[in-house]
Structures are given as structure tokens and as C-alpha cells.
Amino acid sequence: MAGDEKMIDGWPLPVTDDPLDREFYRAARRGELVIQACGDCGKLRFPPRPMCPACQSLAQRWQVLAGRGRVWSYTVPHPPLLPVFNAQAPYNVVVVELDDAPGIRLVGNLVAGTEAPLNSVDPATIRIGEPVEAVFVAMAEDVTLIRWRRPLS
């Protein structure tokens, strides 16, 4: 990661080279939201795991989803947090239920846009059930995080 000017010191980021889920991170860098699916019965699962709990198959594939969902719940953390988050607190963390994968819910942030900070949306305006769409935010050479914004239309 040395020399990558986008890397923010102290920001907790995922390992992205684990064979189990590296495709999730590769897809995010391409601007796609993919979810692991069973290669036999097709059941979607998250977080990624080696085996399908529905049919015990080890076969898997990655399914491209639309990147749209609804706010399932949210919180507004206040300090003391990790230093990088203290700097933007209070901010929102949303849990988004995906429109095309009911029961799969991703943690993210509702932001005003790709370059906007974590606190760019007034938490008092957030409503459970409101529609959101994915934005892809490059944090490091190998890490693109999926956040959410309100639909433009």
C-alpha cells in the first residue's frame, strides 16, 4: 500500500486477497456489486463462506446485482471511536437490504456522493425503508468500498 495517496492512515480496511471473497473486492473495483451464490442450487449467501447451507455444495459463483436496496436500519455513532472516525463523527452507518437479494443486508454509509464524507447526509432525514443505490468509493489501490446514496431521479 506504500505510496498510494488515497490510503487514509488508520482507516480499517479489509484484506482483499483471500480466495474466499477476493472476487467481491475485484468486482467493487470495477463498480459492480456481486454476491456469492451456490453453484448448484443458486442460493445467495453473505458473508462469503465455502459451503452452501441449503444444499452443502462447495460449488460457487458470483452473481452481479443491481446495487439498489432499502435502508433496513441505521445508527449514528458518536466518539470515542477510532481516530479516523472521531474526525467525522457523528456520522451515519446504514444497513441496506438489497432489492434483488432479500435477507442479505450490507453495512455501509448513506453519503451525498462518491467523494462526500461520512457525515454528508443529515441523520435526522434518514428513514427506514427509503431507497438507496450503491456508490463505489476507492479507498486504496486494492480496496473500493460500497457506500450508498439517494437515487438521483
Partner 1 sequence: MTIKDRAAIVGIGQTPFAKRLEPSETELACMAIRDALEDAGISPAEVDALSSFTWESSEENEVASNLGFGDIRFFSRIGYGGGAGCATVLHMAMAIATGQASVGVVWRSRKRGSGARVWALAQERMADVFKSSRPYGLVRPADEVAVLTRRYMHEYGMTRDHLANVALACRKHANNNPAAQMYGKPLTRDQYLSARWIAEPLCLFDNCLETDGALACVLVSAERARDCKHRPVYVHAGSQGMTAPHPTMMNHFCDEPLDGPSWATARGLWRHSDIQPADIKVAQIYDAFTTLVPLSLEGYGFCKRGEGAAFTEGGALELGGRLPINTAGGGLSEAYVHGFNHINEGVRQMRGTSVNQVPGADACLVTSGEAVPTSAIVLRN
Shortest Å distance, C-beta 26 to partner 1: 15
How crowded is the C-beta side of 47, counted as CA atoms within 13 Å? 7
Dihedral sign, Cα of residue 44, residue 66, residue 150, residue 138 = positive
Tell me whether residue 80 or residue 153 sits nearer to partner 1 (CB atom).
80
CB-wise, 29 or 153, nearer to partner 1? 29
Supply the minimum distance, in Å, between the C-beta of residue 153 and partner 1: 25
The single-letter code of the amino acid at 66 is A
Residue 73 C-beta: closest distance to partner 1, Å: 4
What is the smallest separation between the CB atom of 21 and partner 1, expressed in angstroms? 8
Distance CA 121, CA 89 (A): 12
Identity of the residue, 117 or 153, whose beta carbon is nearer to partner 1 in the bound complex: 117
The whole-angstrom separation of Cα 54 and Cα 37 is 11
Q: How far is the CB of 66 from partner 1 (least distance, A)?
A: 19
Q: Would you say 68 or 72 has its CB closer to partner 1?
A: 72
Cα–Cα distance measured from residue 41 to residue 63, given in angstroms and rounded to the nearest whole number: 13
- Can you give the binding site for partner 1, defined by CB under 8 A? 10-15, 18, 46-47, 53, 72-78, 81-82, 85, 88-91, 93, 95, 103-109, 118, 123, 128, 139, 143, 145, 147
Asked whether the CA dihedral 125, 126, 132, 133 is positive or negative, the reply is positive
The secondary structure of residue 55, as a DSSP letter, is T
Nearer residue to partner 1 within complex by CB, 63 or 153: 63
How far is the C-alpha of 72 from the C-alpha of 122, rounded, in Å?
17
